[in-house]
Amino acid sequence: MLKNEILVNYAKLVLKIGVNLQTGQGLEIACPVEKSQVAEVFAKQAYELGAGLVRIRWENQNIDKLTYQYADQKTLCDIPKWLVDCRNSLIEKGFCYVAISADDPSAFKDISAQKLGAVAKARAKALKKFSDGVMANAIRWCVVSIPTLAWAKQVFPTAKDPEAELSLAIEKAMRLDTPNPLEAWQTHIATLEKRAEFLNYSRFEYVHFKNAKGTDLKVGLADEHVWISAREKAQDGVHFVANMPTEEIFTAPHKFKVDGVLKSAMPLCENGQIIDDFSLTFKNGEIVDYSAKVGYETLKQLIETDEGTKRLGEIALIGKNSPIAKSGILFYNTLFDENASCHLAIGKGYPTTVKNGDKLDLSELEKLGLNDATDHFDFMIGTPDLYVVGIKKDGTKVTLFEDGEWVI
């Protein structure tokens, strides 16, 4: 478990840099119930910073598992209106929210992937209005993690004290081991923003990924795309950082201009199940073939969520020397693993990754090539030998990555 002093610094970091909580503003915190003391520290810090109201949403994977085991699919797919209203009210009332994700990566390994997929689909559909708002930055939000025993055991199966090891790894990834974490984050954000500026200035039409594993994929970029790094501006004009840690610079792929094959570089954990060693083939932006050595059925559920999850919604570049990549730890948690490797996401694209996107409607966004879907799933493709080239409209090629690391 994180020491109390570190936890206080952690909460301050997330509230100031992450959601950038403003005086009088409401805050919702989602937290595993077994870590209620973490929520208490966050709530106390939030009130001391001037929060108007702190609301907690407790989560419990053990009860979720029982629910999936015993309740039938039809019942579970009937998403109650109160839950939808509760989420929507965050945007309506100008709250911000912190999601503390600490899932056991294989909590639902014995549950039918089809059932999990059906429920996830129903939930994503019911909460579409809320997730659209989140992805268009109508709300300031931040996803972070804390160690739990079940998760730590998956990451450090042979360690004497897995939770202590995971705490240390999270502290490092969050720069909480530096003398002044707030300052360390400001410097980090500035470095990422410089690189994003270069990419925005370059106006690439395509990005081409290639490695020895078999990835050979040309990803077209949306018209008017904007590369974004750590810090974003919410619709209220206030900056925030949506994921902590974050090492990525990302933008919008063109939904009709993706061709070739990609091979996964790391396992992907979704719905409490693990997908590994998978491959996707694209033609004109659409997945036309896929395979997986582990978790094929779960992958199938993700891809077949709706028409939009058959296309890409995000392309993100991260070098192999990012602190998380250098740690060599496989976290089995996308929040960390996606910051160790170049990644893509199937599903909804962020409206903010095209110029003035938060003011455009869905059909205007589609004209620019931005994908829409009820969900969004990131997965890692960056290997230590990954070669990445940016291609401009006039055919000029600029090498961006050699051997998995930035060369610009």
Q: Which residues bind Zn ion (CB under 5 A)?
A: 248, 250, 314, 316, 345, 378
Structure tokens that stand for 152 in this block: 């730590």
**Closer residue to Zn ion, CB minimum distance, 11 or 316:** 316
CB 235 within 8 A of CB 136: yes
Q: Least distance (Å) from Zn ion to the CB of residue 210? A: 20
Q: Considering the complex, what minimum distance in angstroms separates the CB of residue 248 from Zn ion?
A: 5
CB of 316 to Zn ion, least distance (A): 4
Nearer to Zn ion, 26 or 319 (CB): 319
Cα dihedral value 33, 35, 38, 44, nearest 10: 40
Distance CA 103, CA 332 (A): 9
Nearer to Zn ion, 192 or 316 (CB): 316
Within 8 A by CB and 6+ apart from 82, the residues are none
CB of 26 to Zn ion, least distance (A): 26
Pairing status of strand 268-270 against strand 273-283: antiparallel
Give least dist CB 230 to Zn ion, A: 11
Burial class of residue 327 (count of CB atoms within 10 Å of its CB; 0-12, 13-18, 19+): middle
- Could you please report the per-residue DSSP string of 256-280? EEEEEEEE-SS-EEETTEEEEEEEE
Task: For the CB of residue 314, give the shortest distance to Zn ion in the complex, in Å.
Answer: 5
Q: Give CA–CA dist 207/341, Å, rounded.
A: 16
Q: Which is nearer to Zn ion, 315 or 360 (CB)?
A: 315
Judged by beta carbon, residue 229 or residue 298, the one nearer Zn ion is: 229
Cα–Cα distance measured from residue 350 to residue 353, given in angstroms and rounded to the nearest whole number = 5
DSSP per-residue letters across 50-114: T-SEEEEEEE-HHHHHHHHHHS-HHHHHS--HHHHHHHHHHHHTT-EEEEE----TTTTTTS-HH
Of the two residues 42 and 377, which places its CB atom closer to Zn ion in the complex? 377
Strands 312-317 and 239-241: unpaired
**CB 318, min distance to Zn ion, A:** 9
Considering the complex, state which of residue 316 and residue 381 has its C-beta at the smaller distance from Zn ion. 316
Nearer to Zn ion, 2 or 380 (CB): 380
> Which residues make beta-bridge pairs with 351?
none
CB-based contact 8:176 (threshold 8 Å): no
Instruction: Give 102-117 as a DSSP string.
Output: ---TTTTTTS-HHHHH
Query: Least distance to Zn ion from the beta carbon of 376, Å?
Result: 6
Least separation in angstroms between CB 246 and Zn ion: 8
CA 135 to chain centre: 11
Name the residue nearer to Zn ion (CB basis): 51 or 354: 354
| C-alpha radius of gyration, the chain, whole number | 20
